Amino acid sequence: MNKYLHLMRFLFILLTLQPGLAACQGIRAPAPPLTAVAVQLSWTHSSQFAGLYVADQQGYYAEEGLDVTWLEGGPTVDRLAALLAGEAQFAIASGPEIIRARAAGAPIRAIATIFRRSPFAFFSLADSGITRPEDFGGKVIQIRPRARPILYIRLLTMSKCLNEC
């Protein structure tokens, strides 16, 4: 009989508390405020940053406590200057840019690789006879003087004994 009373008391308490406990499940502590960060993009808003934009829209950055602002880049935007001036907490820059900045004493650190391989390419008309890097010898290569691929041109000229124009 004593076991029966204990069981009944337990069930009564459980059934009495159950609605209150169920109501408490929906109550959550307020989320901490998000930390605002700015990311200096390497170029204008385009599909190359789709993964970053989708992650933002899906709330992945917010889950980590970040409110991200995307700063548009472009041909005249100095990405690392924005980073060093504190306008951005992160910047997308090329490997050579980072190496030059570090060599000049800039207190920056590379934390990720966006492109495993360089997206730059050399191309020519089919009737030019150029099918490999060595074939550029004696040819004129056109490139904007401040374009980032200039380093690749210089490396190509050093490694293949071509003359830079």
Query: Encoding tokens for residue 113?
Result: 């690789």
Based on C-alpha coordinates, what's the Rg of the chain? 29
Tokens 């590379």 found at: 110
Q: How many residues does the chain have?
A: 165
Smallest Cα–Cα separation from 160: which of 121, 140, 132, 141?
132
- In this predicted model, what pLDDT tens digit does every residue of 25-81 receive, in sequence order? 666 777 789 999 999 998 899 988 999 999 999 999 999 999 999 999 988 888 899
Tokens in use for 22?
């169920």
Which DSSP string corresponds to 110-123? ----S-SS------
Higher-pLDDT residue of 153 and 129 is 129
- Cα 87 from Cα 121, distance rounded (Å): 32
pTM for the full predicted model: 0.61
